[in-house]
Amino acid sequence: MRFRQEVFADLGDDAVRAVFEEFAVGMRTVRELLAERGRQHHPAHRQRWQLAAAAEYVDGVVWLGGALETLPLASRALVRWREFVAAYVAGAEFGGLVAAVRRVREALDGVRYSIRIVDRTLEVDAADGTADYSATIADLFSRFGTRPPQPARQRPESDDMSQMEEQILDRVAAVHPDVFGQLGEFACNYENFAADAVLRFDREIQFYLTYLAFTRRVGGAMCLPHLASPGAPIHAEDAFDLALLTRRDRTDDTVVPNDFRLSGPERVLVVTGPNQGGKTTFARTVGQLVYFAALGCPVPARSACLPLPDRLFTHFERAEQATDPDGRLAEELVRIRDTLANATAGSVVILNESFSATGAADAVRMGRDVLDRIVEHGSIAVWVTFFDELARSGPATVSMVATTDPDDPSRRTYRIERRPADGEAHAVVLAERFGLTYDLVTARIASCG
């Protein structure tokens, strides 16, 4: 966790991140060139794509070695990587690759040939210094007011060669056997030219760069959390659901953050309150904080001190399946049983509206039994529920309530406050707002008669 946090801290510097992003772009180009090599069937053409990929690789690694020299790196991982790149670039193996790439490229750049069409026959020979008749003809016709010929349209390098182009290439190779022999020898000797360590680093740095790009795109304050030692308080300030940001209306900049804290004997956050008040979003937020923190990533909060769990268990409501012979309640009980059988003092458990498939009395009784087991294990837990009785289960539980606007109880604030459960679901207020109270409904029915 701390090892990765150090890397994220280094990449928080724009100049440092830009260097590794540039390196990642170069390595992506290498992979694209190698993929294009695999699509070619002509040997010389395939070998030329391999040379292009090797040249891109060499240029990228040499550039990276120079750029790393002046970067203010502090993380163990990137400091070691800088040392590795410096030694790798100075090594004999990489030096041999650089020399081979340069030698073959220079040889290919020196290839010159002429093409003649005689009696519908294509002849390819070495360049013999013959005048460029196309320029002579263009100059002649310019006397009659014609424009000079337009330059040839640039074709994408990935275009497949036509049969005529392949024949020309074969004949050019026959005219310059030494040069194309060097190309074939290079392709054989350097089929796997990239070092395994460089390839592995390229894959791993993508994890950091992609995560940072994602968080910048969705917005919101992010922080590197502190690691809570055993028995230390667990807390977060201005935490939010990162997934919610990806789904919000891009014209809506309002994201309501929330705080929470567990200290001393407190182990379980019991969240109650009205529907659509942000309770499930809060539970997801806590789960995300713990999960991303365990990965060593920045978390969606302004500041946080979080545990490093051995397991993260979740229990969210699932739709009942018609093919399930035991029903939803039995399925819930089995899942929770498995969770409790594997949870430890180092585990985190997220439960959302568990036991809603049964009556209130049975749900409260089962809920208390589960809470007792969680507290007995010493696990950290968040439980979203409609049953206020669970929020009063003892010193290990902390009651948190989804609040509404005091002036308009039908309007949710999406704030989750630490206070005793009040038992107000505000269902009556919503029914009145939408004309669904008993009196209003019966009045409408009577008027229709």
Q: What pLDDT is attached to residue 96?
A: 97
Amino acid letter for position 365: R
Q: Is the pLDDT of residue 118 over 90?
A: no
- Residues present in the chain in total: 449
Q: What pLDDT is attached to residue 11?
A: 97
Q: What pLDDT is attached to residue 25?
A: 96
Q: Indicate whether 178 belongs to any domain.
A: no
Question: Which of 63-77, 88-102, 165-179, 337-351 has the lowest average pLDDT?
Answer: 165-179
Residue 282: CB partners within 8 Å, gap ≥ 6?
Answer: 241, 258, 271, 382, 384, 400, 402, 416
What's the whole-model pTM score? 0.81
Q: What pLDDT is attached to residue 245?
A: 83
Q: Indicate whether 154 belongs to any domain.
A: no
Q: What pLDDT is attached to residue 288?
A: 95
Q: Indicate whether 146 belongs to any domain.
A: no
Same domain, 242 and 280: yes
Q: What pLDDT is attached to residue 151?
A: 67
Q: What pLDDT is attached to residue 260?
A: 96
Instruction: For residue range 310-346, list pLDDT tens digits in order.
Output: 999 998 876 655 566 567 788 888 889 999 999 999 9
Same domain, 209 and 225: no
Q: Indicate whether 78 belongs to any domain.
A: yes
131-138's contacts with Cβ under 8 Å and 24+ in sequence apart are none
Q: Is the pLDDT of residue 35 over 90?
A: yes
* Nearest to 278, CA basis, from 248, 309, 244: 244
The residue that leads in pLDDT, 254 or 364, is 364
Q: What pLDDT is attached to residue 122?
A: 79
Same domain, 208 and 350: no
Same domain, 364 and 389: yes
d(CA 313, CA 353): 15
Q: What pLDDT is attached to residue 60?
A: 96
Q: What pLDDT is attached to residue 447?
A: 82
Indicate the pairing of strand 258-262 with strand 234-239: antiparallel
Same domain, 272 and 419: yes
Q: What pLDDT is attached to residue 250?
A: 52
Q: Indicate whether 272 belongs to any domain.
A: yes
What mean pLDDT, rounded, does the chain reach? Answer: 88
Instruction: State how many domains the chain has.
Output: 2
Q: What pLDDT is attached to residue 405?
A: 83
Percent of the chain with pLDDT over 70: 89
Q: Is the pLDDT of residue 283 over 70?
A: yes
Same domain, 296 and 385: yes
The residue that leads in pLDDT, 443 or 375, is 375
At 383, which CATH number? 3.40.50.300
| DSSP SS3 for 318 | coil
Q: Which H/E stretch holds residue 118?
A: strand 113-118
Q: Is the pLDDT of residue 51 over 70?
A: yes
d(CA 166, CA 62): 34
Q: Is the pLDDT of residue 142 over 90?
A: no
d(CA 440, CA 437): 5
Instruction: For residue range 204-262, list pLDDT tens digits in order.
Output: 999 999 999 999 998 889 999 999 988 899 999 999 999 888 876 655 557 899 999 99
Q: What pLDDT is attached to residue 71?
A: 95
Q: Is the pLDDT of residue 298 over 60?
A: yes
Q: Is the pLDDT of residue 156 over 60?
A: no
Q: What pLDDT is attached to residue 49?
A: 94
Q: Indicate whether 91 belongs to any domain.
A: yes
Contact 315, 335 (CB under 8 A): yes
Q: Is the pLDDT of residue 12 over 60?
A: yes
Contact 310, 342 (CB under 8 A): no
* HSE-CB of 316 using CA atoms within 13 angstroms: 8
Res. 84 pLDDT band, cuts 50 70 90: very high
Token digits of residue 348? 């985190």
Q: Is the pLDDT of residue 428 over 80?
A: no
* Nearest to 307, CA basis, from 243, 257, 239, 235: 235
Same domain, 233 and 376: yes
Burial code of 124-142, b = ≥16 C-beta within 10 A, e = fewer?
A: beeeeeeeeeeeeeeeeee
Q: What pLDDT is attached to residue 2?
A: 93
Residue ending a domain, choose from 147, 178, 213 = 213
Q: What pLDDT is attached to residue 291?
A: 96
Q: Indicate whether 184 belongs to any domain.
A: no
Q: Is the pLDDT of residue 445 over 90?
A: no
The residue that leads in pLDDT, 356 or 378, is 378
Contact 194, 30 (CB under 8 A): yes
Token digits of residue 190? 């350097």
Q: What range does the domain containing 55 cover?
A: 1-110+189-213
Same domain, 263 and 200: no
Interior CA angle at 259 toward 258 and 264, to 5°?
A: 155
d(CA 449, CA 444): 9
Q: What pLDDT is attached to residue 154?
A: 59
Same domain, 236 and 367: yes
Same domain, 194 and 281: no
Same domain, 269 and 202: no
The residue that leads in pLDDT, 346 or 139, is 346
At 259, give phi and psi (nearest 5°).
-115, 160
Q: What pLDDT is attached to residue 432?
A: 65
* Nearest to 257, CA basis, from 307, 304, 300, 211: 300
Q: Is the pLDDT of residue 132 over 80?
A: no
* Nearest to 336, CA basis, from 278, 379, 386: 379
Q: Which H/E stretch holds residue 362?
A: helix 360-377
